[in-house]
Structure 1
Amino acid sequence: MSAILEVENLRVAYPSRQGPVEVVRGVSFALGRERLGIVGESGSGKSQTGRAILGLTAAGGRVTADRLHFDGIDLRGASPRIWRQLRGRRMSMVMQDPKFSLNPVMTIGRQIVEAGRRGGVSRRDAKARALEMLEAVQIRDPGRVFDAYPHELSGGMGQRAMIAMMLVGRPDLLIADEPTSALDVTVQLEVLGILDDLVRDRGMGLVFISHDLRLVSTFCDRVLVMYAGRVVEEIAAADLDRATHPYTRGLLNCLPRIDAEARPLPTLERDADWAR
């Protein structure tokens, strides 16, 4: 399987009073036309890794890598013109919280059409595609949502609108940061089905960032487990229950089980060597 994304020794650092602090430390992986899950606790560097790949690191952050290639394009020194050609058309990211990702003064439809018109698509075709994608993410009245503003939607509805906007351009690479966290189980399965179809039928590469180990184990092909900014284990998703790293084992042991009562509640004993 040829890799559409190659990441080698990716590092992200932010300034502090004590000097630069690395929040992503030496992350390396290759992504083909597959579903790659990245799991870990909050603050482990999952979202920062995704943002760095798309050149969306916050101001003040410094991104370095020995290799950061998307379909043969070196992203480390990409110009603003190259990023404009890539983002939205070939690379997209579903952010974790739609409240901070959607423009509050633009209608949902206008934002999706704007994303869908990249590459010379007519406004008419972009609107038809936008309505189609709103329906695909299980929005019952796509016409009403198309004309609505973000504040008029619930959190789950806003997240579905975000997913529709990121998929309307049919990207080759999608980074999904907790894309189903605000959705009920039924809609979650529908959205995962859409992503699965894009990977299987169109050959899209998917980076799926999540806290839900069970979801990742059933949906993804491979899993990277991150702790304190670095990857501590890479394993096939189907083998996640047989992970060997003590951090991964600790996360799995903390999951609630219906068939067993855990008393006292399990805790994760951390080792300083995990962060080295």
Structure 2
Amino acid sequence: MSPLLTVEDLRVTFPTRQGPSEVVRGVSFTLGRERLGIVGESGSGKSQTGRAILGLTPPPGRATAKILDFDGIDLRAARPATWRSLRGARMSMVMQDPKFSLNPVMTVGRQIVEAVKFGATGTRAEARDRALAMLEAVQIRDPERVFRAYPHELSGGMGQRAMIAMMLVTEPDLLIADEPTSALDVTVQVEVLRILDRLVAERGMGLIFISHDLRLVSSFCDRVLVMYAGRVVEELKASELKQAQHSYTRGLMNCLPQIEGGQRPLPTLERDAAWAK
């Protein structure tokens, strides 16, 4: 089976007073119907890599690649009409901060309904029902209230859950999740990860999971890319992180907290769910 996404020699450059600054430098990887984690410190190029794949590099930045192919579509030559047909319906991205992703002058419900209507056929009532069901799926106890609320009326964690619901309601083929659970408590985090896991397993969705949390990525993802200073320094199976060879990856592993004289074992979703209780 051919990869869902192929990236070869992706570069993102921004102009500065000192000249062009390359923040993503020659990133290459393929993505199948799987969970791919991208980890690294702040400024390593993780988020800019995700944005470039969706054609969202902010001007005056410039993204280039030798190959940037999504399911047989050359994204380098994609026209605005092609991007409109892909974003939301087939490709989605959960941004790190919902304050900058949700429209402040539209209710949360209206925004999710628009996402449903954009990616599927059906009545507005059916779209509303799907929106409410997804809000409930991300552990929002009063979906009707949140549906009617404006983004500024929600807490940070609630806004993040609403944003996740909006990106997942269309069940895209490719989801790029940039720190999607950073503002969520453990119980909600586990439920969101279960939803993502189901979409990958049942619908064959491809997931790029961007995170600072190496332990979470190692327990949830199938493969891991480790980025430093705009480059991929190591790629390996998540289950083999303890056998990492690159000094930077080993440094990240050594930074994991020690508890009672020993390193806490890498968690599973089931174990985290048990801790949450």
TM-score (norm 1): 0.93
How far, CA to CA, are the matches of 2:192 and 2:258 in structure 1? 25
Aligned pairs for 1:114-133 (under 5 A) are 114-121=114-121, 122-133=123-134
How far, CA to CA, are the matches of 2:163 and 2:258 in structure 1? 32
Partner of 2:250: 249
Q: What amino acid is aligned across from residue 96 of structure 2 in structure 1?
A: Q
Q: Could you tell me how far 1:257 is from its partner in structure 2? A: 1.2
Aligned pairs for 1:78-227 (under 5 A) are 78-121=78-121, 122-227=123-228
Contact 2:120 2:170 in 1 (8 A): no
Which ranges of structure 1 fall in alignment gaps of 5 or more residues? 263-276
How far, CA to CA, are the matches of 1:2 and 1:219 in structure 2? 23
The answer on 1:73 being equivalent to 2:43 is no
Q: Could you tell me how far 1:37 is from its partner in structure 2? A: 0.1
2:28 partner SS: strand
How far, CA to CA, are the matches of 1:135 and 1:99 in structure 2? 21
Q: Could you tell me how far 1:119 is from its partner in structure 2? A: 3.8
> Alpha-carbon deviations, 1:42-78, whole Å to 9, x = none?
0000000000000000010111100000000000011
Partner of 2:47: 47
Partner of 2:56: 56
Q: 160-169 vs 113-122, which deviates more?
A: 113-122
How far, CA to CA, are the matches of 2:83 and 2:115 in structure 1? 14
The sequence identity of aligned pairs, in percent, is 77
Partner of 1:272: none
The answer on 1:23 being equivalent to 2:23 is yes
How far, CA to CA, are the matches of 2:216 and 2:37 in structure 1? 10
Q: What amino acid is aligned across from residue 239 of structure 1 in structure 2?
A: E
Contact 2:88 2:119 in 1 (8 A): no
1:250 partner SS: helix
Contact 2:44 2:227 in 1 (8 A): yes
Query: Aligned-residue CA RMSD in angstroms?
Result: 1.1
What is the number of residues matched between the two proteins? 262
Q: Could you tell me how far 1:259 is from its partner in structure 2? A: 2.9
How far, CA to CA, are the matches of 2:193 and 2:161 in structure 1? 11
Q: What amino acid is aligned across from residue 27 of structure 2 in structure 1?
A: V
How far, CA to CA, are the matches of 2:68 and 2:239 in structure 1? 28
Which ranges of structure 2 fall in alignment gaps of 5 or more residues? 264-277
